[in-house]
Amino acid sequence: MPIIKNKRTGGLWLNIFGLGLLTGTLDGLAAIAMNYKIGAARIFKFIASGAFGKSPSAGSAEMILWGVFFHYFIAFSFSAMLFLLYPFFIRVLKNKYLCAIVFALITFIITNLVIVPLSKIGWRPMDIGFFLKNFGILIFTIGLPIALIANRFYSRKTPKGQID
């Protein structure tokens, strides 16, 4: 019996890659828009400072590139993890929009209570305004794109003759 190649496997990684680009770009644009007075360069230098601290080259273009790299690395990581976990979440929550909200909450908690405190930026106190603004942004830039794209991907019927 011949082995039939699963076309969804390639589609899975293509979806995750595209989703990482989408969420990273949406979240980056939201950060730039919400902090337009300080400029994109400073935002990405701040992200890079999580790994490098306030190094002598903190003002360089290299730090901006590192910030962009770390920003997209984190976005790709969350996108891949949540996309792959979507079937579990949809079984439990039964609603893709509720999944989007939970995904945003997971992203907020891990970012602000694990990643940032463990970085060279360290713990920063949060108030309710910070939480509401950032959580709202994450719903639209991370949660919804992942939930909607994952829902479409996992809802497709397997074509006849294809092993899933």
Report pLDDT digits (tens) over 102-113: 999 999 999 999
The structure's pTM equals 0.84
Polymer length in residues for the chain: 164
131 is a domain residue: yes
1 is a domain residue: no
29 is a domain residue: yes
Distance, CA of 125 to CA of 120 (rounded, Å): 15
135 is a domain residue: yes
Q: Got the DSSP string for 5-18? A: P-HHHHHHHHHHHH
State the pLDDT confidence band at 126, using cuts at 50, 70 and 90: confident
17 is a domain residue: yes
Domain total of the chain: 1
**73 vs 54: which has the higher pLDDT:** 73
8-state DSSP, 54: S
163 is a domain residue: no
Q: Lowest-pLDDT range, 28-42, 44-58, 134-148?
A: 44-58
Mean pLDDT value of segment 111-123? 91
**pLDDT at position 8 over 80:** no
Distance, CA of 136 to CA of 141 (rounded, Å): 9
pLDDT of residue 9: 58
164 is a domain residue: no
**pLDDT at position 3 over 70:** no
Instruction: Give the residue numbers spanning the domain of 33.
Output: 8-155
77 is a domain residue: yes
